[in-house]
Chain A
Amino acid sequence: MSAPTEAPPSAPDRAPAAEPAKRVVRIGDRIFSGSTVFAGSLILVVLAAVAIFLIVQSGPAFTANADEVPGPSEDFWSYVGPLVFGTVWAAFLALVLATPMAIGIALFISHYAPRKLAQGLGYVIDLLAAVPSVVFGLWGVLTLARFVQPFYQWLGDNLGWIPLFSGIVSGSGKTILTGAIVLAVMVLPIMTAVCREVFLQAPRLHEEAALALGATRSEMIRMAVLPFARSGIVSAIMLGLGRALGETLAIAMVLSPALVISPQLLTSQNPNTIAANIALQFAEATGKGVNILIATGLILFIITFVVNFVARAIVARRAAFSGAN
């Protein structure tokens, strides 16, 4: 092999045998490990650059006056307020719809479906994750919105006294509820995958003990599986939330937006989300308008950062505890 050439001079007196062998440094090793460290550090740099560039470019936006901010807003904060509300509201609605579904599907795959089918059914749900978001948007606006509009009409006519369903029902079905349904379908795969993973890890012996004591299957799941999986479910919800907050095109296509803060689900005056607003406005924005949009992006970045951070912290705490079972 390629013996190190700088070793021989010190060969005669090799009293501490182990020491010199360790000090041998090969050029190839240096270069290779150096390049891996470089690549790793590059990730730090990229993330720092994302934060720095966003902050630098959004700086002018925070001091923008009334003429520079689009729409009737007085300053930047009154412009971004409805957008933040819309983002959080749409993501919240999506999670309300998706969480029970995800838990149900994960339970079906992990505990109800026949063993041989379970793997395949998991793939089928993962298929949903492979569909590009623009296709979801197209489907949402051309198929789903038309399909659900009669239901909205019925809800508005009969349950209009509930504040959520009040207001004039949109004739096109392009409302925030439709957007939330599309978002829910889009975050289902990741939530299902995480839930399924924790359900499968539930201690087998606990399950069998519960069944042996005469519990029905649903009681077994409630007593042995769900308590074990609680933190996993929470982290699945947070991951889904992170996805739903950042989703752009589906909302941009499905929603008919307005600059309002309103919890009404069925009207055509819907609060827009940050991401969708950027996508819709960016092509026409100039000068300070661009800075303002980038500043809203910075706020979105911070929100998703916090959500993901909390999710990871929960997962990490769970990993620390799971050795105890």
Chain B
Amino acid sequence: MSTTTAAPAARPMTNSLAAGRLPRFSPIFLLIGSWIVMGAVYGMLAAAGTLEGFDIVGTVFFGTVLFDVALFVWSLVVEGGRRARDRLITSLVCTAFVIALLPLISLIWTVVAGGVHRFDLTFFSSSMRNVLDEGGGALHATVGTLEITGFAALISVPIGLLTAIYLVEYGRGWLAKGITFLVDVMTGIPSIVAGLFAFALFSLFAGPGIRAGVMGSVALAVLMIPIVVRSAEEILKLVPNELREASYALGVPKWLTVVKVVLPTAVAGITTGIVLSISRVIGETAPLLLTAGFTASMNYDLFDERMMTLPVFVYTQYANQGPEASDFINRAWAGALELILIVAVLNILARLVSFFFSPKTGR
């Protein structure tokens, strides 16, 4: 009993509900404060000539780290260990999110800033034929990308859609289970392995060294089928069973029920899934590098000779720089910008389709 009287004297007993708290907006001000401190440090380093120019990314990054440490220490002193740990975790979680945004912002910024140099009419109206330094463009690559991806979609959409219908409407037993499992496996195929597969397949029939746009389409289709199956399956599962039962009750055969009732209900979702899957494979580079190859000339024929595609265009412009490197780098950035814009447009299109054409729910 005597110890209890001695304890408060050594360390006042704290009630965690009434214990000291940091002022309400202190984290915000502390964050801004530590950014300013780090900015000042970097500014001094820049002024002293240790660094060339002011480093904004470093300021934000190390400022945030300083904030995490400072907040933890301050909270530990005022609020005690448990709440300090809570604040530390909170600030770390928020920091993780901000750090993840940095590459995204940096990437978009550099692609736009680098791409605008050559984002002009010549770029979209000429190929790279006989171009050794400046000028030239990506028309051949744009055409190739559209043709190869379009043909890949032509292969994979029917197969993927019918497979999804099988899995949802018909599939029972070992075959359905096996297909579900293998679709999962296919999702994980590295893109370059798909390219090797297409190459091995065609070189068996046409001899080694063959390159053609259609090979690229087959490789992309291998990558695209599982995505189409997955998304279409999810959507078909959402179609209410009552619709199917009502149709059967009216004596409609099963296949007509699927074609006239289930598919029209799900068409918006399926279209969205297909567009998203196209946007996923349109940026694939590795399989096209192996199968469609690269060329500087126009080629409209999918089944004959090498065919340029946008991702490969970007890669080759970077990898095989000519005497005047900046021309090639600028074209690479412009190609990257065009590619990102295509992907962005496809994504927006998908969202618009699902927004406007989805069946309206009662709620």
Contact = CB atoms under 8 A, between A and B. Distances in A.
B333 interface: yes
B188 A308 contact: yes
A57 B200 CA distance: 7
A261 interface: no
A142 B110 contact: yes
Given A53-B204, A279-B192, A112 B93 contact: yes
Interface in A69-90: none
A143 interface: yes
B66 interface: no
Interface string B312-326: 101100110000000
B285 interface: yes
Contacts of A132: 282-285, 311, 336, 339-340, 343
A104 B92 contact: yes
Given A139-B107, A249-B285, A112 B94 contact: yes
B190 A304 contact: yes
Contacts of A42: 159, 163
A265 interface: no
B104 interface: yes
A216 B196 CA distance: 53
A289 B253 CA distance: 56
A101 B199 CA distance: 38
A301 B190 contact: yes
A206 interface: no
B183 A43 contact: yes
B197 A133 contact: no
Contacts of A121: 97
Contact of B315 (A101, A245, A249): A249
Contacts of B275: none
B196 A135 contact: no
A105 interface: yes
A62 interface: no
B255 interface: yes
Contacts of A216: 82-83, 85-86
A136 B285 CA distance: 11
A46 B225 contact: yes
A37 B175 contact: yes
B194 to A, nearest CB: 8
Interface residues of B, number: 100
Interface in B73-108: 82-83, 85-86, 88-90, 92-97, 99-101, 103-104, 106-107
Interface string B132-151: 00000000000000000000
B196 A294 contact: yes
Interface string B181-197: 11111111111111011
Contacts of A112: 90, 93-94
Contact of A26 (B90, B101, B253): B253
Contact of A47 (B88, B110, B175, B185): B185
A137 B104 contact: no
A39 interface: yes
Contact of B184 (A29, A147, A312): A312
Contacts of A242: 188
Interface stretch (A7-15, A123-131, A159-167, A172-180): A123-131
Interface in B1-27: 16
B255 A33 contact: yes
A301 B189 contact: yes
B169 interface: yes
Contacts of A248: 190-192, 285-286
Nearest to A188: B100
B166 interface: yes
Q: Is the interface of A mostly helix, strand, loop or mixed?
A: helix
Contact of A219 (B86, B158, B208): B86
A156 interface: no
Interface string A85-113: 00000000000000011011101110011
B235 interface: no
Contacts of A26: 253, 255
Given A44-B182, A107-B93, A300 B193 contact: yes
B28 interface: no
Nearest to A305: B185
B111 interface: yes
B178 interface: yes
Contacts of A300: 190, 192-193
Given A44-B182, A105-B97, A108-B93, A246 B340 contact: no
A141 interface: yes
B254 interface: yes
Contacts of A33: 166, 170, 254-255
A217 interface: yes
Contacts of A141: 318
B258 interface: yes
A184 to B, nearest CB: 9
Nearest to A290: B208
Interface centre among A127, A128, A297, A307 (most CB of B within 10 A): A297
Interface centre among B176, B251, B253, B282 (most CB of A within 10 A): B253
A18 to B, nearest CB: 15
B97 A32 contact: no
Contacts of B285: 132-134, 248-249
Given A128-B103, A130-B279, 7 more contacts: A32-B258, A36-B170, A43-B163, A104-B95, A132-B311, A218-B88, A219-B82
Interface of A: 1, 26, 28-29, 31-33, 35-44, 46-47, 49-50, 53-54, 56-57, 100-101, 103-105, 107-109, 112-113, 121, 124-125, 127-128, 130-139, 141-144, 147, 185, 188, 192, 214, 216-219, 221, 239, 242, 245-249, 253, 275, 278-279, 282-283, 286, 290, 293-294, 297, 300-301, 304-305, 307-309, 312
17 contacts: A32-B259, A37-B166, A40-B167, A44-B182, A101-B100, A104-B96, A128-B103, A130-B347, A131-B340, A132-B282, A138-B318, A143-B106, A143-B110, A216-B83, A275-B190, A294-B199, A301-B193
8 shortest A-B CB distances, which residue pairs? Answer: A132-B283, A246-B190, A104-B96, A39-B162, A32-B255, A308-B188, A36-B166, A216-B86
